[in-house]
Amino acid sequence: MADAPKEKTRPEKLDTDTPRPDTLEPVSPDTEKGVSPKADAPDRSDAAHDGDDREVVIQVRGLKNQFGSQVVHENLDLDVYRGEVLGIVGGSGTGKSVLLRSIVGLNTPAEGDIEVFGQNLRKLPDEQRRAVETRWGVLFQEGALFSGLTVAQNIQVPMREHLHLPQDLMDQIAAVKLGLVGLPQEAGAKFPSELSGGMKKRAGLARALALDPEIVFLDEPTAGLDPIGASAFDQLILQLKDTMGLTVFMVTHDLDSLHAICDRIAVLAEKRVLVEGSMKDMLKQDHPWIREYFHGPRARAATDAWGDKADEKAKAAR
Ligand SMILES: Nc1ncnc2c1ncn2[C@@H]1O[C@H](COP(=O)(O)OP(=O)(O)O)[C@@H](O)[C@H]1O
Ligand SMILES: [Mg+2]
């Protein structure tokens, strides 16, 4: 089996951010900013709507990503609609994180067009690109909190980067965001190393929500959490989606999350989005990886637990 879904209870490397109080360096290169992709893609100004009445907020066409001789994506197309929770699944190393990073401009594709809110970020001048960047938030795979900053300071990083606000206002906003993700106010003064895995994920989410984004990108948000913590995190995402009208782009291995909160699923395989659709659509697929993933023993447990919910969701998505 190439890439069985991970056990939720198996701890992931959540504690890589050992305390470094003397530095403001990001723990993970994921948080690096300032990648300025080249402006050489053709214009696709007709791209905001795609023939039906749902608004396309992210449109990927003909994406190619290559590292040395390793082609990760080729001819990858994907649409993400406003207000949906889209689950991205695929075997380990199929390029889920690279796809996410390409969309948010941290990875420069070899070929293809990516538009977010109808704008091709590679073609935008710096200032306009930065303005678009304030309209999304990202929770990276390892949480990627700055270990030398408190949780409240972490939440304020995007505000410092993009807004000019007095400190007391930023403190107030950080307090609101803590409440939003279900963290106690005391957590604001803690360093990431003092938090549990679940609390770190919530703190990362609070930072992703700092600028009241329209889209949040989540890379394996429930990996490493115990089933109860994972389920609570799922419910939080669902609640935020409903109350804030968020669009959620979620890379996940978690079949429970797929059942519980995803409106649509896109499968990365063979270097592209091989299929996309509802859970019900996934269950009909014959592709070996997809069959193994959605019909394996863990899938059966998740499906039994959710019972008819998959059917209901499939209907609701129509
Ligand atoms: N910056 C990079 N340089 C070289 N190879 C990379 C880089 N980023 C990702 N890769 C490779 O691309 C493939 C896809 O990676 P990734 O998107 O992280 O997979 P996953 O689907 O597990 O998230 C992997 O083989 C990985 O080693
Ligand atoms: Mg990944």
Can you give the pTM of this predicted structure? 0.80
pLDDT greater at residue 97 or residue 299? 97
pLDDT at residue 32, as a whole number: 37
Query: CA–CA distance from 287 to each of 99, 278, 280 (Å)?
Result: 21, 16, 15
- Pick the residue whose CA is nearest to atom 20 on ligand 1: 93
pLDDT of residue 167 exceeding 90, the answer is yes
Query: Closest ligand 1 atom, CA of 90?
Result: 21
Give the pLDDT score at 253: 86
Structural contact between residues 234 and 257, judged by C-beta atoms closer than 8 angstroms: yes
Q: Is the dihedral of CA 125, 130, 132, 138 positive or negative?
A: positive
Please identify, by atom number, the ligand 1 atom nearest to the C-alpha of residue 95. 17
Query: How far, in Å, CA of 79 to CA of 86, rounded?
Result: 10
Q: Point out the least confidently predicted range of 40-49, 74-83, 174-183.
A: 40-49
By mean pLDDT, which of 125-129, 159-163, 213-217, 303-307 is the weakest? 303-307
Q: Which residue has the higher pLDDT, 200 or 297?
A: 200
Average pLDDT, the chain: 82
> What pLDDT band is residue 45 in, cutting at 50, 70 and 90?
very low
Instruction: Give me the residues paired with residue 89 across strands.
Output: 267
65 Cα to the center of ligand 1, angstroms = 10
118 vs 6: which has the higher pLDDT = 118
> Among 43-47, 250-254, 275-279, whose mean pLDDT is lowest?
43-47
Q: Is the pLDDT of residue 314 over 80?
A: no
Q: What is the pLDDT of residues 81-111, one digit of tens each?
A: 999 999 999 999 999 999 999 999 999 999 9
Beta strands 119-120 and 111-116: pairing type? antiparallel
- pLDDT grade for 296, boundaries at 50, 70 and 90: confident
Assign 13 a pLDDT band (cuts: 50, 70, 90).
very low
- Contact 92 CB / ligand 1 (< 6 Å): yes
For a substitution probing ligand 1, which of 32, 64, 71, 72 has the most ligand atoms within 8 Å of its CB? Answer: 72
Record the tokens describing residue 283, joined without a space: 């269950």
| pLDDT at residue 267, rounded to an integer | 96
Average pLDDT over residues 167-176: 96
Taking residues 27-37, what's their average pLDDT? 36
Q: Which domains does the chain have, with CATH numbers?
A: 82-105+126-135+213-318 (3.40.50.300), 143-212 (no CATH)
**Cα 272 from Cα 275, distance rounded (Å):** 9
H or E element that contains 93:
none
Bridge partner list, 85: 248
In this structure, which amino acid lies at residue 291? R
* Alpha carbon of 126 to ligand 1 centroid (Å): 26
**Residue 68 falls in which region: left (phi positive, over 0), alpha (psi -120 to 50) or beta:** left
Give pLDDT tens digits for 110-133: 999 999 999 998 899 999 999 999
Does residue 102 line the site of ligand 1, with CB under 6 A? no
Query: Which of 22-26, 225-229, 236-240 bottoms out in mean pLDDT, i.e. has the lowest?
Result: 22-26
Above pLDDT 90, what percent of the chain? 65
Q: Is 93 in the pocket of ligand 1 (CB under 6 A)?
A: yes
